[in-house]
Amino acid sequence: MEDTEKQTSGMEEEYILFGIDERTYGIPIGKVQEILTMQPISPMPNTLPFCKGVINIRGTIAPIIDLRLKLGFEALDYNERTCIMVLMLDGEQVGIVVDGVRDVVRISQEQLQNSPTNDVALTHTRSYTTKVSVQDGMILQILDLARLFDLEEAAQHDR
């Protein structure tokens, strides 16, 4: 009976899990094109601090965002686990630097809860996390990529 309930409990979606500052985040795996080892990033002038520059991905120039900085964490030196997740967002490739990729999991809609940080009164700003889930005793925060990559809002916030 339990297996039947799991199968009929709702739609499941696959998420790729990655770490930033000892926290676990997830994004829909369908948004991820590939995962690259760290490589030299060409800096661009007059960009926001979290915009590290650009890289060449097989002939396509893609911007690279340090997700640690974008989420408000302290900068750290990159290491052997640091990688670039290449995302496809509105037809554009964007690379995000993460501390390390951890896993791919299936999460049903019933396992997702609204993030308490969606309440503007709690955070004084819009949160990049819209859903949370508990997986194997670990809190997983699902990032809202539309909010995360609203660069106009980010520029206003940094002023």
Average pLDDT for 145-157: 65
How far is 68 from 20, CA to CA, in rounded Å? 6
Interval 90-130: pLDDT, tens: 889 999 999 999 999 898 888 887 776 655 545 444 578 77
**pLDDT (0 to 100) of residue 142:** 87
How far is 25 from 104, CA to CA, in rounded Å? 11
Interval 5-35: pLDDT, tens: 444 456 889 999 999 988 999 999 999 999 9
Average pLDDT for 49-76: 94
Closest CA to 104 of 51, 26, 24, 34: 26
CB distance 131 to 114 below 8 Å: yes
Strand partners, 87: 32, 94
**pLDDT (0 to 100) of residue 3:** 44
Q: How many CB atoms lie within 10 A of CB 111?
A: 17
**pLDDT (0 to 100) of residue 107:** 85
Positive or negative torsion for Cα 124, 74, 67, 49: positive
pTM given for the model: 0.79
CB distance 157 to 69 below 8 Å: no
Q: Show the domains of the chain with their CATH numbers.
A: 2-148 (2.40.50.180)
